Amino acid sequence: MTIKATCCGASRNATPQNRPSAEIIAARTVDDFDTVAIPAGRSVYGTATPQIPNDGEGPMRSKRVRGFTCGVTTVTNAQFKAFIDATGYVTEAEDFGWSFVFYSDIAKEIGPTQAVPGVEWWHRVDGANWRDINGPYTYAAAWDPDHPVVQMSWRDARAYAAWVGGRLPTEAEWEHAARGGLGDVKFPWGDQEPEEKGYTPCNIWQGDFPNTNTCADGYQRTAPARSFEPNTYGLFNMVGNVWEWTSDAYHVQSLKKDVKRRLVQMKGFKLSKGGSFLCHKSYCYRYRIAARSGTSPDSATPHHGFRVVWDAV
């Protein structure tokens, strides 16, 4: 097993040994969830002014997107627990027996842990999973039924989506929904930048990353899935709070040799959108609509969740 570091997290890049082989059968429908209909239309995705070009934010593209139905929020702990209770599904973090945790959230009782080279704020912690988000001794403080479920791998997200008769969105669909019909805007609410104090429209890091989070937005970790003002389509937390898996592979169009070398190491990675509560403009300016990140599909962290979409009927 090789642990690989990325700006926004760390990747296991390994294969668990005890994955359940049973296919997930849809047992819920879109009618069981709070959703909105996203209208079809020609939409832009990407940007003509990339802030992190090596991530593949550009160029701006235009695409006709079919109408679809989108979850108003990311999937919550309570919703995911219903899936576990009904199916007995075992997440990849549970199967591996460990996952990644942000260094300041590790309980002192755990003792010494292994930091990830290159992003030393991520540590490998035994027993960390969707139930015990930051590992043992932290369940009561970290787990809330109305917060986004986290410590989710791409395969975990796909399994849940299949159970509810849905799927993960494509990057184009995700951006189409996040823009809310506003066109080429930087954020779901428009172009106004979040501030260290004052204007805090989403859950991101304020202060000196990774040392001090002032929590000016009201949250040190995740916020409830239904918090802050929704966008014009009625979708909550399309940026900030937790990264959201998409169905797409991570790919960057670039002629730069260093980017090509990095992409070879990231072969098989999947694309995530939206940024998280750990994003800060000085280091990870990825809480913009066009921003993106690639992670191995088996990886899970306390700031990675997902949202489900359904094909229009």
pLDDT in tens, 86-102: 999 999 999 999 999 99
- Please tell me the predicted confidence (pLDDT) of residue 22: 47
- Of the two residues 15 and 249, the one the predictor is more confident about is 249
Tokens of 143: 């787990």
Question: Residue 124: in which H helix or E strand, if any?
Answer: strand 119-126
Pairwise pLDDT comparison (285 vs 260), residue with the higher score: 285
Helix/strand/coil for 45 = strand
What's the pLDDT at 218? 97
pLDDT category, 111, cuts 50, 70, 90? confident
Whether residue 140 has pLDDT greater than 60: no
Could you give the angle at which helices 77-87 and 154-163 cross, rounded to 10 degrees?
Answer: 70
pLDDT for the residue 6: 52
Mean pLDDT of 198-214: 96
Q: Look at residue 219 in the predicted model and tell me its pLDDT.
A: 96
Q: Encode pLDDT of 7-23 as tens digits.
A: 466 666 655 555 544 46
Q: What is the pLDDT of residues 19-38, one digit of tens each?
A: 544 467 666 667 778 999 99
Residue 96 pLDDT: 97
> Rounded mean pLDDT of the chain?
90
* CA 111 centroid distance within chain: 28
Q: How far is CA 57 from the centre of its chain?
A: 17
- What dihedral angle (degrees, nearest 10) is formed by the CA atoms of 44, 45, 49, 52? 170
Would you state the pLDDT for residue 21?
A: 42
Mean pLDDT computed over 132-147: 80
Q: Which residues of 112-129 are buried (b: 16+ CB within 10 A; e: fewer)?
A: ebeebeebebbbbbebbb
pLDDT greater than 60 at residue 313: yes
pLDDT reading at 205 higher than 90: yes
pLDDT at 17: 54
Q: What domains can you pick out in the chain, each with its CATH number?
A: 42-91+148-311 (3.90.1580.10)
By the 8 A CB rule, do 307 and 244 touch? Answer: yes
**pLDDT value of position 77:** 97
Euclidean distance between CA atoms 63 and 203, whole angstroms? 29
Rounded Cα distance, 263 and 258, in Å: 9
Per-residue pLDDT at 122 exceeds 70: yes
DSSP state of 161: H
